[in-house]
Structure 1
Amino acid sequence: MVVCWKPQRQRIRFRKLQIFDISRNAFVGSLPDRYFKNFGGMVDAIENMTHDEKNVFQQFIDINLTLKGLDQTLQRLLKTFIMIDLSSNRFSGKIPVSVGRLNSLKYLNLSRNTVTGHIPVSLGNISNLESLDLSWNRLDGKIPSELVRLTFLSKLNLSMNNLVGWIPLFKQFSTFPNDSYIGNSGLCGDPLTKKCERIDGKPMIPQEDDDDVSGFIDGFGWRSVVMGYGCGFVVGMGIGYIIIRSGRPR
């Protein structure tokens, strides 16, 4: 089911909607949070879909969509094809947290708007997401580390925003090129040429969660090792001296 954008005052339904494409228009205002909350067809889609609904998707012919940054014509849609494309409009405000509950979503494109605020941590819950495009907006803050949970993500575009901090280097994020992050002067780390620095000006290398290991090493530095060997040597010499003075034991 494909729908055009027609704001209405009555109760919003669209509970079985699985393709929401209103890109390349001139819509204004905040992103439609109340719509996202009603997109039940984008939550656990396969489990909730009936047999008749699965067959309907094969009847669509010649649908023009923008997927992973490329314009494509699809002659057949799979039952798992679920997307939201609000790109090239004039939407403003923050990205609603409710988008994160749409765990069956595969393509999310909010590019070329004037969206502000941080990238919601809840986007890391969209486990089936394959393409995420938030480029050409006014997003700020850090890239949430929760996004590394998106193991199916093959296309990422966060360019031309105001993002800052480290770029996650783990899992899928280690495969994305420089183009995914350009235009964010506050970002640092691979694959960008700008390296992250500490307050003292020395470069920093982001690491995974190894606080326990580093704490162990810090707690037992070279001073502790030397003291341990020293104490052991003194105790050993003392025991040897006592044995020699007391004679060889029978």
Structure 2
Amino acid sequence: MTQATRVRHVEPSVAAVADDAARRFVELVASTTAELHVAVSGGSVATKVLPAFVVEMARAGLDWTRVHVWFADERFVPTGHDDRNVVAVADALKGAAGFEQARLHATLASDSGETLDDAAVAYEAELRALVPPADGVPGGIPSLDLVLLGAGGDGHTASLFPGTAGLETAAALVESIRDSPKPPPERVTLTLPAIREAARVWAVVTGAEKAAAVRLASTEGVTAEESPLGAATGRLETLLLLDAGAAEALG
């Protein structure tokens, strides 16, 4: 499958990066009358970027009635735990006009009575049931309209970590993680094939502590095992949205 070439955009501050991403999101929503399926990660995506989306959507006079929100990854901890990405994401979307809780597609929590593997299987089944494939053929791989990612200083994105073999050849769209190098150890994550099937992948990366990871991700020929961030690309568009700190190691 052909993937879109990564394009970098650099803004002077974290706030400016969030505002830039928000303007792009508004353009995406305004460009179609179809339902949109958007997967998000936690961290600054939830606490800074999504709030900017809500503000910019309101400014543009657009509502969220057609937007489904999914999770690029989630921590397998109890319902309501602060480590759950859904907690911060739900908080960010409280002011989103027209957004319905039924369109916030959370993974099963550790107190659901289901196992970690069950949570991954159930989430993939929900994706396949609700997200149409790019070619429209029933039974095809679901194609999210947008995957909105962050990244760590080690180059991980979603819960895909450097040094993990087989990232590009994962058979599942959603996998369970039991030994995340970053706590908590148990997680559910979209796999690289699921991310790469998305129409658009935007990675929002800020902070000088991530500059080396950004440089590696931007290096020609880098492997998924070396840099999951570098391998996270979309079919139609791949954006790396950076602040000045994260971009400081680029030539």
Q: Is the structural similarity TM-score above 0.5? A: no
Sort the TM-score into its range (normalised by shorter chain): under 0.3
Higher relative contact order (CA 8 A, sep 6+): 2
What is the TM-score normalised by the length of structure 2? 0.24
What is the TM-score normalised by the length of structure 1? 0.25
